[in-house]
């Protein structure tokens, strides 16, 4: 190629940008935006929905720190996170990993490492989140059967035994607390026994329940437990935890079907979580936040934390009922970690949630089209002063929107429930 040829050929980029301009793709101007001070509410909202939940100061502070994601300091943090996670999961298993991602990423790590094309999976579906695990299993090519459970109820052990008998699954997925319609699968231990007897591994989604109510991974024989940060643990969203039993890890380790996920490949993640090696840049601040959230669980102890959650949730349920509102789920399968409340006639979840947020700075949640609002009782949400403010704000919201409730009775019932449980303790 000679000089003439070089000069006579215009640079390819100018061709490209001329073509782009002709097609209307003008340069992108720098936008003018508001500062966060203008966007965020002047008074922070009290986060009483179905997650994320308020975080303690120690968690918030840790979340501002950036350290090297490899090296001795991080190794010590990871070591402690795993040790504390084993306590929270109640497992001696070595295979405890963190996940850079939401609770759903931990769910996907469980499913995509244990299932592949042709794997028979039985998913017990109680609602929105348990259906998500079935969908994830379908996407990796598994042969998925769902046991679809009617809203506001849980499957009987007979139904589950029959479904296992019929489908002979390698993997059973189930949710501990189905946050969407506020039902709780209370018989996890028995369900695991049925599945194990048929040779299946059991994956339990404990995103909303872990550290709010008893769940014993080893004693109940669970193979994989997953959780998120922003619910029971009162950490930030986006950094999650997962634990595999030895049997589950063996299946992961010896699989021959290639794993289509790279970030969620548990054997690659193990290199970071057990060998201080590089997988991807760990979300260091989030891991530090999780460390603090777990440390606070350890300081409180699980026993006391479960008692606090139960006491607060029952008091909230009592206060809401005394307002004159109905709880959505029958007591036999009611989840305590998130309380579902039926809406009075003519009110929509959106109206109620907007009003309570704008007028009383309390954030609660609707639920994927169900005629309910939900109030969380996870981690820092279970504090007496938050309960009084929430029941009051809910009662006032109902009055403002024209629904008849007995606000003094609601607040009194809350107080009565809290003080009588304090007397019993
Ligand atoms: C919130 C939730 C999830 C999903 O967690 P994300 O962090 O939103 O992905 C999964 N399962 C249950 C039971 C949940 O409550």
Chain-centroid distance, C-alpha 310: 19
Distance 350 CA to ligand 1 centre (A): 21
pLDDT single digits (tens) 350-385: 999 999 999 999 999 999 889 999 999 999 999 999
In this prediction, residue 219 carries a pLDDT of 98
Residue 91 domain-assigned? Answer: yes
> Token pair for residue 29?
């101007």
Residue 410 domain-assigned? Answer: yes
Nearest in space to 242 (alpha carbons), one of 230, 228, 255, 252: 228
In this prediction, residue 339 carries a pLDDT of 98
pLDDT over 70 percentage in the chain: 94
Cβ atoms of 286 and 64 within 8 Å: the answer is: no
Measured from the Cβ of residue 248, the count of other Cβ atoms closer than 10 Å reads 24
Q: Under 8 Å CB-to-CB from 98, ≥6 apart: which residues?
A: 78, 81, 239, 240, 241, 242, 273, 282, 287, 290
Going by alpha carbons, the residue nearest to atom 6 of ligand 1 is 103
Give the relative orientation of helices 157-167 and 188-197 as an angle to the nearest 10 degrees. 30
Q: Under 8 Å CB-to-CB from 390, ≥6 apart: which residues?
A: 46, 48, 316, 362, 364, 375
Atom of ligand 1 nearest to the CA of 238: 7
Distance 104 CA to ligand 1 centre (A): 6
Q: Does the pLDDT value for residue 73 go beyond 50?
A: yes
- Mean pLDDT rounded to a whole number for the chain: 94
Average pLDDT over residues 394-405: 97
Q: Judge if 64 and 136 occupy the same domain.
A: yes
Considering all CA atoms of the chain, what is the largest pairwise distance in Å, rounded to the nearest integer? 96
Instruction: Out of 257, 277, 300, pick the residue that ends a domain.
Output: 300
Atom of ligand 1 nearest to the CA of 106: 9
In this prediction, residue 62 carries a pLDDT of 98
Peptide bond into 52 cis (omega under 30): yes
Q: Judge if 257 and 274 occupy the same domain.
A: yes
Residue 9 domain-assigned? Answer: no
pLDDT band at 424 (very low <50, low <70, confident <90, very high): confident
Ligand 1 in reach of 104 Cβ (< 6 A)? yes
Residue 46 domain-assigned? Answer: no
Q: Judge if 191 and 96 occupy the same domain.
A: yes
Cβ atoms of 124 and 130 within 8 Å: the answer is: yes
Say how far apart CA 118 and CA 228 lie, in whole Å: 28
Q: Under 8 Å CB-to-CB from 283, ≥6 apart: which residues?
A: 100, 238, 239
Helix or strand (DSSP H, E) at 351:
helix 349-360
Q: Judge if 200 and 256 occupy the same domain.
A: yes
In this prediction, residue 351 carries a pLDDT of 97
pLDDT band at 130 (very low <50, low <70, confident <90, very high): very high
pLDDT band at 422 (very low <50, low <70, confident <90, very high): confident
Say how far apart CA 106 and CA 233 lie, in whole Å: 15
Cβ atoms of 292 and 59 within 8 Å: the answer is: yes
Q: Is 396 marked as binding a ligand?
A: no
Cβ atoms of 193 and 66 within 8 Å: the answer is: no
Ligand 1 in reach of 179 Cβ (< 6 A)? yes
> Would you give the DSSP letter of residue 241?
E
Measured from the Cβ of residue 319, the count of other Cβ atoms closer than 10 Å reads 27
Ligand 1 in reach of 220 Cβ (< 6 A)? no
Distance 208 CA to ligand 1 centre (A): 7
Measured from the Cβ of residue 125, the count of other Cβ atoms closer than 10 Å reads 22
Distance 111 CA to ligand 1 centre (A): 15
Tracing tokens 């907007």 back to the chain, one arrives at 354
Ligand 1 in reach of 102 Cβ (< 6 A)? yes
Say how far apart CA 286 and CA 294 lie, in whole Å: 12
Cβ atoms of 398 and 344 within 8 Å: the answer is: yes
CATH number for 112:
3.40.640.10
Distance 105 CA to ligand 1 centre (A): 9
Pairing of strands 171-175, 201-205: parallel
Ligand 1 in reach of 51 Cβ (< 6 A)? yes
Query: For a substitution probing ligand 1, which of 208, 230, 335, 340 has the most ligand atoms within 8 Å of its CB?
Result: 208
Domain count, the chain: 2
Q: Judge if 378 and 405 occupy the same domain.
A: yes
Q: Does the pLDDT value for residue 5 go beyond 80?
A: no
Average pLDDT over residues 186-201: 98
Ligand 1 in reach of 208 Cβ (< 6 A)? yes
pLDDT single digits (tens) 9-67: 444 455 555 565 566 799 999 999 999 999 998 889 999 999 999 999 999 999 999 99
Residue 2 domain-assigned? Answer: no
Say how far apart CA 395 and CA 384 lie, in whole Å: 17
Going by alpha carbons, the residue nearest to atom 12 of ligand 1 is 207
Q: Does the pLDDT value for residue 400 go beyond 50?
A: yes
pLDDT single digits (tens) 199-211: 999 999 999 999 9
Question: DSSP letter string over 363-398?
Answer: E-B--TT-SEEEEE-SGGG--HHHHHHHHHHHHHHH
Q: Judge if 335 and 258 occupy the same domain.
A: no
Average pLDDT over residues 276-297: 96
Domain that holds residue 190: 57-300
Going by alpha carbons, the residue nearest to atom 3 of ligand 1 is 103
Angle (CA) 150 156 160, round 5°: 95
pLDDT single digits (tens) 314-330: 999 999 999 999 999 99
In this prediction, residue 3 carries a pLDDT of 44
Pairing of strands 171-175, 239-244: unpaired
In this prediction, residue 23 carries a pLDDT of 66
Ligand 1 in reach of 167 Cβ (< 6 A)? no
Average pLDDT over residues 386-412: 98
pLDDT single digits (tens) 153-171: 999 999 999 999 999 999 9
Helix or strand (DSSP H, E) at 120:
strand 120-125
In this prediction, residue 369 carries a pLDDT of 87
Q: Judge if 173 and 293 occupy the same domain.
A: yes
Say how far apart CA 132 and CA 125 lie, in whole Å: 9
Average pLDDT over residues 96-121: 98
In this prediction, residue 2 carries a pLDDT of 42
Tracing tokens 């840049």 back to the chain, one arrives at 281
Q: Judge if 371 and 232 occupy the same domain.
A: no
CATH number for 410:
3.90.1150.10
Instruction: Out of 268, 300, 332, pick the residue that ends a domain.
Output: 300
CA R_g for the chain: 25
pLDDT over 90 percentage in the chain: 91
Ligand 1 in reach of 241 Cβ (< 6 A)? no
Give the SS3 label for residue 340. strand
Residue 158 domain-assigned? Answer: yes
Query: For a substitution probing ligand 1, which of 47, 51, 182 has the most ligand atoms within 8 Å of its CB?
Result: 51
Average pLDDT over residues 135-150: 98
Query: For a substitution probing ligand 1, which of 49, 99, 101, 103 has the most ligand atoms within 8 Å of its CB?
Result: 103
Residue 150 domain-assigned? Answer: yes
- Beta bridge partner(s), residue 240: 99
Average pLDDT over residues 307-316: 98
Q: Judge if 210 and 111 occupy the same domain.
A: yes
In this prediction, residue 19 carries a pLDDT of 61
Instruction: Out of 278, 300, 322, pick the residue that ends a domain.
Output: 300
Q: Judge if 118 and 129 occupy the same domain.
A: yes
Ligand 1 in reach of 108 Cβ (< 6 A)? no
What φ, ψ does residue 179 adopt, rounded to 5°? -60, -30
Helix or strand (DSSP H, E) at 143:
strand 143-148
Distance 10 CA to ligand 1 centre (A): 54
Going by alpha carbons, the residue nearest to atom 5 of ligand 1 is 103
Q: Does the pLDDT value for residue 245 go beyond 60?
A: yes
Ligand 1 in reach of 129 Cβ (< 6 A)? yes
Q: Judge if 269 and 336 occupy the same domain.
A: no
Residue 404 domain-assigned? Answer: yes
Q: Judge if 111 and 127 occupy the same domain.
A: yes
Q: Does the pLDDT value for residue 276 go beyond 50?
A: yes
What φ, ψ does residue 423 adopt, rounded to 5°? -65, -40
Pairing of strands 224-227, 239-244: antiparallel
Signed CA dihedral, 46, 51, 52, 58: sign only: positive
């Amino acid at each position: 190629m000679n000089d003439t040829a070089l000069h006579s050929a215009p640079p390819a980029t100018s061709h490209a940008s001329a073509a782009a301009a002709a097609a209307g793709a003008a340069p992108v101007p720098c936008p003018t935006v508001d500062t966060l001070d203008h966007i965020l509410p002047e008074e922070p909202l009290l986060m009483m929905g179905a997650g994320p939940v308020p975080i303690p100061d120690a968690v918030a502070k840790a979340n501002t720190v950036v350290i090297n994601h490899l090296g001795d300091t991080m190794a010590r943090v990871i070591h402690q996170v795993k040790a504390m996670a084993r306590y929270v999961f109640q497992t001696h298993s070595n295979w405890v990993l963190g996940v850079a991602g939401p609770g759903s990423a931990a769910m996907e790590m469980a499913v995509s490492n244990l299932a592949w094309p042709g794997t028979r999976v039985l998913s017990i579906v109680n609602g929105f989140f348990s259906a998500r695990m079935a969908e994830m299993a379908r996407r990796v090519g598994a042969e998925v059967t769902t046991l679809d459970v009617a809203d506001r109820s849980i499957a009987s052990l007979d139904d589950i035994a029959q479904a296992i008998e019929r489908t002979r699954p390698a993997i059973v997925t189930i949710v501990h607390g189905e946050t969407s319609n506020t039902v709780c699968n209370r018989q996890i231990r028995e369900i695991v026994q049925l599945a194990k007897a048929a040779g299946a591994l059991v994956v339990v989604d404990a995103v909303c329940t872990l550290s709010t109510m008893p769940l014993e991974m080893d004693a109940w024989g669970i193979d994989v437990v997953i959780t998120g940060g922003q619910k029971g643990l009162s950490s930030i969203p986006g950094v999650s935890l997962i634990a595999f039993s030895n049997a589950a890890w063996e299946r992961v380790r010896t699989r021959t079907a290639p794993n289509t996920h790279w970030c969620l490949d548990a054997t690659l993640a193990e290199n970071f979580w057990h060998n201080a090696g590089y997988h991807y840049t760990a979300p260091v601040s989030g891991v530090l936040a999780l460390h603090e959230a777990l440390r606070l669980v350890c300081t409180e102890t699980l026993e006391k934390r479960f008692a606090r959650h139960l006491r607060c949730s029952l008091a909230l349920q009592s206060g809401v009922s005394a307002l004159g509102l109905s709880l959505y789920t029958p007591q036999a399968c009611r989840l305590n970690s998130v309380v579902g409340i039926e809406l009075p006639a003519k009110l929509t979840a959106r109206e109620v949630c907007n009003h309570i947020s704008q007028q009383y700075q309390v954030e609660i949640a609707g639920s994927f089209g169900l005629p309910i609002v939900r109030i969380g009782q996870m981690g820092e949400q279970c504090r007496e002063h938050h309960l009084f403010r929430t029941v009051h704000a809910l009662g006032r919201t109902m009055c403002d929107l024209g629904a008849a409730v007995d606000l003094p009775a609601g607040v009194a019932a809350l107080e009565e429930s809290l003080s009588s449980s304090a007397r019993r303790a």
